[in-house]
């Protein structure tokens, strides 16, 4: 059996990470068999190297090796590409065509991005894996093929199965042996080694001196996340090799080539934050509306009890838990209660008592709307100004995010929302 180090040298695999070595070791061990292999890992980690190792070390090494990017073939033509078609089977089929499974008979097919296969094609592929048979598009005659399938995906297959985008039985057929390649950020000791290899390759390709990193630039290289993995690292090395006149690359220079670190290179704008902000605003509005509906229902219940009994003290005693629930969030609820009662009774005078407001005799009671206005007039103007200043500062501090501002002010989100409307902020 070929050693791990010899295999890595043969296929140009650079790095000594234990997870990488384990992946190569599994590929070497599984190569002499005919079982299906699923290679998993993020985009750009080098998954295409594993199928080549498996094919080259198998008894099929003299047969054809065909790599198919399933995500790059349109859904309408992928069946024809994989399994072939008969003449006249669809518009444009002017001749009979052999598909990859027929051409690669006795060899290996590498299905890259297998998670992108449409469901009808998945059914056809499952039949090949189960009994080695397939049907050309437009044909009713089954054909036999002896092909070893190695698949790769960067999709989380369990999630795809749960969403109904990938067949569970096909997944288990493909993943008899699963080989996972680690992301570059988990191979820190290999990052600088890979960069130096790419820098040397591009220096030779473009006939120029090799670029070198300063110590600070090397630290940045190792700390960066590398979401695009080896492919991204290679692109950065090539850009710097071509564009920089000074062959010693400093921290500041390297920083300009790394997205999210002051880069002047194009980057994909993430719209999820905007969607999240909109969703948060919508949730707050829903919460306010539901809370208002709940409070109105509670108030209706209290009003009905008062109208039936006419005894405010008795209702207050029997419904104390409901009253406490209504006024537990904020002290300003008395004002809100008065205004809601006004709306519910269409301005009619009632014997309804605003709980937690000092009791008055029937002769002292006034219309609830007028009473609420009196409370507002009695408020100290300086306190209002202080309150307004505090709300403004808190909203500015948290860039208008009401939840965080309300938490800091020690009030509920609903109360803050009402204050914003009150002060027209």
Q: What is the pLDDT of residues 135-193, one digit of tens each?
A: 999 999 999 999 999 999 999 999 999 999 999 999 999 999 999 999 999 999 999 99
- Would you place residue 303 in the very low, low, confident or very high pLDDT band (cuts 50, 70, 90)? confident
pTM recorded for the entire structure: 0.61
What is the per-residue pLDDT across 59-101, written as a single tens digit (0 to 9) for each? 999 999 999 999 999 988 999 999 999 999 888 889 999 999 9
What domains appear along the chain, each with residue ranges and CATH number?
4-182 (3.40.50.300), 185-255 (1.10.8.60), 270-378 (no CATH), 379-425 (1.10.10)
What is the per-residue pLDDT across 2-18, written as a single tens digit (0 to 9) for each? 799 999 999 999 999 99
Question: What mean pLDDT is predicted for residues 389-403?
Answer: 81
pLDDT above 60 for 267: no
Print the SS3 string covering the chain: CCCHHHHHHHCCCCCCCHHHHHHHHHHHHHCCCCCCEEEECCCCCCCCHHHHHHHHCCCCCCCCEEEEEHHHCCCCCHHHHHHCECCCCCCCCCCCECCHHHHCCCCEEEEECHHHCCHHHHHHHHHHHHHCEEECECCCCEEECCCEEEEEECCCHHHHHHCCCCCHHHHHHHCCEEEECCCHHHCHHHHHHHHHHHHHHHHHHHCCCCCEECHHHHHHHHHCCCCCHHHHHHHHHHHHHHHCCCCEECHHHHHCCCCCCCCCCCCCCCCHHHHHHHHHHHHHHHHHHHHHHHHHHHHHHHHHHHHHHCCHHHHHHHCHHHHHHHCCCCCCHHHHHHHHHHHHCCCCCCCCCCCCCCCCCCCCCCCHHHHHHHHHHHCCHHHHHHHHHHHHHHHHHCCCCHHHHHHHHCCCHHHHHHHHHHHCC
Please give the pLDDT value at position 204. 96
pLDDT above 80 for 341: no
């Amino acid at each position: 059996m070929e050693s791990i180090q010899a295999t890595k040298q043969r296929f140009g695999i650079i790095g000594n990470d234990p997870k990488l070595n384990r992946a190569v070791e599994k590929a070497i061990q599984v190569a002499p068999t005919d079982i299906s292999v699923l290679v998993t890992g993020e985009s750009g980690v080098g998954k295409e190297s594993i199928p080549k190792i498996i094919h080259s070390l198998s008894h099929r090494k003299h047969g054809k090796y065909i790599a198919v990017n399933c995500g790059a073939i349109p859904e309408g033509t992928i069946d024809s590409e994989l399994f072939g078609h008969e003449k006249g089977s669809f518009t444009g089929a002017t001749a009979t065509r052999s598909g990859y499974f027929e051409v690669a008979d006795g060899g290996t097919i590498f299905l890259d991005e297998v998670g992108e296969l449409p469901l009808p094609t998945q059914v056809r592929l499952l039949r090949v894996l189960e009994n080695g048979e397939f049907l050309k598009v437009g044909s009713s005659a089954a054909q036999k093929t002896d092909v070893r399938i190695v698949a790769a995906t960067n999709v989380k297959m369990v999630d795809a199965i749960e969403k109904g985008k990938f067949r569970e039985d096909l997944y288990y057929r493909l993943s008899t042996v699963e080989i996972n390649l680690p992301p570059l950020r988990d191979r820190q000791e290999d990052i600088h080694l890979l960069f130096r290899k790419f820098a040397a390759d591009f220096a030779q390709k473009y006939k120029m001196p090799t670029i070198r990193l300063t110590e600070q630039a090397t630290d940045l290289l190792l700390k960066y996340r590398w979401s695009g993995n080896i492919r991204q690292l290679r692109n950065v090395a090539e850009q710097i090799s071509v564009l920089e006149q000074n062959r010693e690359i400093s921290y500041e220079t390297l920083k300009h080539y790394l997205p999210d670190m002051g880069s002047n290179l194009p980057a994909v704008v993430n719209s999820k934050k905007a969607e999240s902000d909109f969703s948060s605003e919508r949730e707050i509005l829903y919460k306010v509306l539901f809370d208002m509906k709940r409070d109105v229902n509670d108030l209706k219940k209290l009003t009905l009890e008062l109208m039936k009994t006419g005894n405010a003290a008795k209702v207050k005693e029997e419904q104390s838990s409901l009253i406490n629930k209504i006024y537990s969030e904020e002290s300003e609820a008395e004002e809100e209660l008065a205004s809601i009662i006004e709306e519910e009774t269409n301005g009619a005078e009632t014997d309804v008592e605003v709980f937690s407001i000092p009791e008055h005799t029937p002769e002292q009671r006034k219309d609830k709307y007028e009473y609420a206005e009196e409370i507002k007039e009695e408020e100290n103007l300086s306190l209002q100004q202080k309150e307004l200043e505090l709300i403004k500062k808190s909203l500015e501090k948290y860039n208008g995010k009401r939840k965080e501002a309300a938490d800091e002010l020690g009030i509920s989100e609903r109360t803050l929302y009402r204050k914003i409307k009150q002060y027209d902020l």
